Structure 1
Amino acid sequence: MSMLGRVTQQTVQASSLRNLQSNLSRMATLQAQMSSGTKLQLPSDDPSATSDVMRLNASARQLDQFGRNASDGTSWLTTIDTALSSTTTALQRARDLTVQGGNGAYGLTSRQALATEIAGIRDDLLKQANTTFLGRTVFAGTANTGAAYTVGTDASGNPTYTFNGVAGSSVQRQVGTDTQVRVDSDGAAVFGNGTSSVFATLDTIASTLNAGGDPTQYLSQLDGHLNAVTNEAASVGSRQRVLDASTADLTSASQTVKTQTSGLQDIDLAEVIMQLKSQEVAYQGALGATGRVLQPTLMDFLK
């Protein structure tokens, strides 16, 4: 035959206080969720969900970095494209002037004027070749000399053009886990180097005009430089399309990560409000019950 444990007033009071504290704790949890907007106040609230949220947050940070890289790469390529566009226009003008200079009807003064304009085009092309973005030369790879080309003179006093880029180097931007895009251009491939540079070719054309010679013999060299600029412009366009596609993919992936994170940690506000109201009713009932339990005094037992 089992025996019942003795229930004392102190036992009832202790039990009532525990229940009251439990109700208050649940209400405090719901209030914290409603004020913060998240149901994960502590890792212990849901260890599995917390782990998933941490993983998703890491993915979000990585996607944000890829997005910044893509934006920076777009700025580099836009800068290069603008320089190449200006270079193409200048070279086409230089070609027109060269053809005009081959006209035997032009006198010395007219030919000198053509040579002066050719020299001005050369200076403009040097400016385009030394284009920078945020202090970095866009046509010199990883070089930090500040200028892709420097102008000097040889022993005879003729100008020389030295390319300062680092051979085989390139500026890359990581825009995906397995995707890198080159965002600079090889100045030597676009403008040439030394005596084979477009600047030297224009100097030769100007000198020929001043000397009364036929500059059209250098049209093939000019066309070669024009083709090099056109080919690089096409390459820049191709790389820009890769960046555009990567940016669209990153935007979609970032939205997916945000949705998944929200599903794991964000509260359903309407549901939490209903639960809080229900818990408040339960808490008020517990307060009333506890008040009645704690009410008896010594005089009540002596009656």
Structure 2
Amino acid sequence: MAIRVTQTMMNTQLLRNISGNLGRMNTLQNQLATGRRINAPSDDPVGLTFAMRYRSEISANDQYIKNVDSASSMLDYSDMAMGQAGDVLQRLRELAVQGGSSSLPQEAYDSINLEVKELYKQMVEIGNSKFNGKYVFNGELTETPPYPKQGLGEPGSPTAYEVSTDTGQIKYELAPGVTLAANIIGNDVFGGAIGDDSSDNVFHVIRRISEALAAGNSNKVSDLIGKVDTRLNTLLEKRAEVGARTNRLSLVQDRLSSISVNLTSIQSKTEDADMSEVITNLKMDENVYQASLSAGAKLISPSLVDFLR
């Protein structure tokens, strides 16, 4: 049976088609304005699931990169501080060699001793080095200075050679389940609390050299040069360890950068719109919209007067 098509039906269908054209144009204009193919869950539910996963992985990877930067900065600062400690020990050794001469008068020993006491203060300052407002050589107790600040012969207890630093490690996560300690323990650099005179605790060694100079005991000063050399060797070993960790961080950073580029590329393929395709489709829909308006104008132009002519 034939269906009777009325003017109202044709008008309704025209409006529905024009509305559909406008909807497609609106979707394409959103893609053109945002540069993304997916702007709402309804655009691509499956693609949105992958996009959210990629965003989560990129965010985690960015945090790992920040952790690498923080660990590298801390290790670089620790290496700088240990370099300064090495300079102090080198100067201490030079003074000990001078003080080991038995031909000097007591006034010369006293003059050397004045500088040795200043070296002690300088070493304490290095031991209490702070990076980003936190003490670097006191393990996890970053808010507490590891070494008392009084100099040789000054009242106060305990002294720097009588304390042990915290042994906790400050670890940074570089990947899921992968961590690296970025701090150096003060005991490893300067020596632990003394147990007897055999200790090569740097503060204890400086104190014994100072006492030997004050007593004019050149033989004892000469004997202590070996302790200075032992601590220097230990310091070089710790700097080598820092260098090894820094090199590893450099490799990790390169890997994380590559992962970031890869994830961003995959995310772009999932979320981003093909701009050339969007512009082409938008122009085509604009032409269709203009054509539908033109056809509609001819469709609804007849009126009752036109039929009565």
Match of 2:207 in 1: 203
Match of 1:131 in 2: 129
Three-state SS of the structure 2 residue aligned to 1:150 is coil
For 1:210-221, list aligned pairs within 5 A: 210-213=214-217, 214=219, 215-221=221-227
Matched, 1:265 2:271: yes
- Residue 115 (structure 2) aligned to one of 117, 141, 149: 117
Q: 1:110 to 1:158 in 2, by over 3 A?
A: farther
Q: CA offsets, 1:229-252, max 9 Å, x none?
A: 111111111111111111111111
- In the aligned structure 1, how far is the partner of 2:146 from the partner of 2:156? 20
Structure 2: runs of 5 or more not aligned: none
The residue type paired with residue 198 of structure 1 is: V
Match of 1:22 in 2: 20
The residue type paired with residue 165 of structure 2 is: G
Give the C-alpha shift of residue 49 in structure 1.
Answer: 1.1
CA contact (8 A) 2:164 2:193 kept: no
- In the aligned structure 1, how far is the partner of 2:164 from the partner of 2:35? 56
Give the C-alpha shift of residue 300 in structure 1.
Answer: 3.3
Matched, 1:235 2:234: no
Matched, 1:249 2:223: no
CA contact (8 A) 1:145 1:164 kept: no
Matched, 1:102 2:92: no
CA contact (8 A) 2:35 2:272 kept: yes
Give the C-alpha shift of residue 257 in structure 1.
Answer: 1.2
Give the C-alpha shift of residue 173 in structure 1.
Answer: 0.9
Between stretches 238-247 and 288-297, larger displacement belongs to: 288-297
Q: 1:157 to 1:302 in 2, by over 3 A?
A: closer
Identical-pair percentage: 30
CA contact (8 A) 2:170 2:181 kept: yes
Three-state SS of the structure 2 residue aligned to 1:173 is strand
Q: CA offsets, 1:113-166, max 9 Å, x none?
A: 111111111111111111111111111111144312125699x96872244633
Three-state SS of the structure 2 residue aligned to 1:194 is coil
- In the aligned structure 1, how far is the partner of 2:143 from the partner of 2:42? 55
Matched, 1:149 2:147: yes
- In the aligned structure 2, how far is the partner of 1:229 from the partner of 1:11? 92
- In the aligned structure 2, how far is the partner of 1:164 from the partner of 1:226? 19
TM-score normalised by the chain length of structure 2: 0.91
Matched, 1:38 2:36: yes
- In the aligned structure 1, how far is the partner of 2:146 from the partner of 2:73? 18
Match of 1:282 in 2: 288
Q: 1:203 to 1:19 in 2, by over 3 A?
A: same
CA contact (8 A) 1:190 1:229 kept: yes
Match of 2:57 in 1: 59
- In the aligned structure 1, how far is the partner of 2:286 from the partner of 2:151? 89
The residue type paired with residue 3 of structure 2 is: G
- In the aligned structure 1, how far is the partner of 2:19 from the partner of 2:117? 89
CA contact (8 A) 1:163 1:188 kept: no
TM-score normalised by the chain length of structure 1: 0.93
- In the aligned structure 2, how far is the partner of 1:28 from the partner of 1:153? 77
- In the aligned structure 1, how far is the partner of 2:164 from the partner of 2:143? 7
Match of 1:184 in 2: 183
Q: 1:271 to 1:250 in 2, by over 3 A?
A: same
Give the C-alpha shift of residue 109 in structure 1.
Answer: 1.3
- In the aligned structure 1, how far is the partner of 2:271 from the partner of 2:308? 56
Match of 2:166 in 1: 166
> For the aligned residues, what is the CA RMSD?
2.0
